[in-house]
Structure 1
Amino acid sequence: MRYLFLLIIVIPAIDIGVLLFSGKAIGVWPTITLILLTGIIGAYLAKREGLQTIRRVQEQLSYGQIPGEALLDGICILIGGTLLLTPGFITDVVGFLFLFPPTRKPIKFIILKAWRNRINKGNIKIIK
């Protein structure tokens, strides 16, 4: 929880600094255009990847399989889309990393490893 609070303060402050620097370096209108463009591209990618993930989940469920990896993809796509809709270049870069399948794979591995560690420590209880 303390890391979340820190991220809520630090990341926007860094993003604002980068936006101010960008506005000074390339101009205000090109900066605004880049922010809007990344938001539009991000929304399109999130929709496309999300629909593919929904189809995979439905296909796996129809075969009686548990769609674990597809659900993890969905979580990554949700996080990536949210970050891309947030104005700022740093959040956009991280959002694109969550959306593209090649870069999403190591992120999913890290998330899965963190969940397993929390389960092994007893922080998360699984009821059967």
Structure 2
Amino acid sequence: MRVLLFVFILFPLLELALLIKVGSSIGVLATLLLIFAGVLAGGFLLRIAGPATAWRARARLLSGEAPEQEMLDGLLLAFAGLLLLLPGFISDVVGLLCLLPVTRRLLRARLSRAVPRSGPSSSVPPGGPAAGPRAAPGGSERPRPQIIEGEWERRDD
């Protein structure tokens, strides 16, 4: 409840207060130019970081691994893009922090600990415990998905 109160009421008020403070210090035109430059820089960084994350996710999928990290990176990049589009300096700083690989790695680790694992990426394969390959006896290695290769032909009679 407190987080929603902060996001919807206090955060815009803090952004407005900071905009007024900066505008009174450096002038309205310079403040508007800083906000516009932040939007342009964020858009440029998103154009570079977005496709790179998609290519890494594709490479992980082709190697037979789940692209969990890349999906969280994509989520953080989308959140950063939203924050960079909002007018204000606080949202720009938080958005730029989400774009940096170091802070994104820290946020990704925190998010992956907070979200419980469920669905196909859990330790039990979809067909039951006997369906997939076993992990190492020490339990340190994640089980890899079973891949069955073959050829098929479509016949429309």
Same fold (TM over 0.5): yes
How many equivalent pairs are there?
120
Residue 4 of structure 2 corresponds to 4
Letter in 1 for 2:46: A
Residue 44 of structure 2 corresponds to 44
Identity of aligned residues (%): 35
Give the Cα–Cα distance (whole angstroms) in 2 for the partners of residues 112 and 9 of structure 1. 28
Give the Cα–Cα distance (whole angstroms) in 1 for the partners of residues 4 and 67 of structure 2. 28
TM-score scaled to structure 1, two decimals?
0.87
Residue 81 of structure 2 corresponds to 81
Residue 61 of structure 1 corresponds to 61
Give the Cα–Cα distance (whole angstroms) in 2 for the partners of residues 20 and 77 of structure 1. 28
State the structure with more CA Rg. 2
Give the Cα–Cα distance (whole angstroms) in 2 for the partners of residues 81 and 24 of structure 1. 27
Root-mean-square deviation (CA, aligned residues, Å) is 1.5
Post-superposition shift, 1:2? 4.9
Residue 123 of structure 1 corresponds to none
Structure 1: tracts of 5 or more residues without a match = 120-125
Say which is worse superposed, 1-10 or 48-57, in terms of deviation: 1-10
Letter in 2 for 1:6: F
Give the Cα–Cα distance (whole angstroms) in 2 for the partners of residues 90 and 64 of structure 1. 40
TM-score scaled to structure 2, two decimals?
0.72
1:94-126 deviation per Cα after TM superposition (whole angstroms, max 9, x unaligned)? 00000110111111122122214xx6xxxxxx3
Give the Cα–Cα distance (whole angstroms) in 1 for the partners of residues 65 and 114 of structure 2. 24
Residue 115 of structure 1 corresponds to 115
Greater RCO (CA < 8 Å, at least 6 residues apart): 1
Letter in 2 for 1:75: L
Structure 2: tracts of 5 or more residues without a match = 120-125, 127-157
Letter in 2 for 1:91: S
Post-superposition shift, 1:59? 1.0
Give the Cα–Cα distance (whole angstroms) in 1 for the partners of residues 8 and 44 of structure 2. 26
Residue 17 of structure 1 corresponds to 17
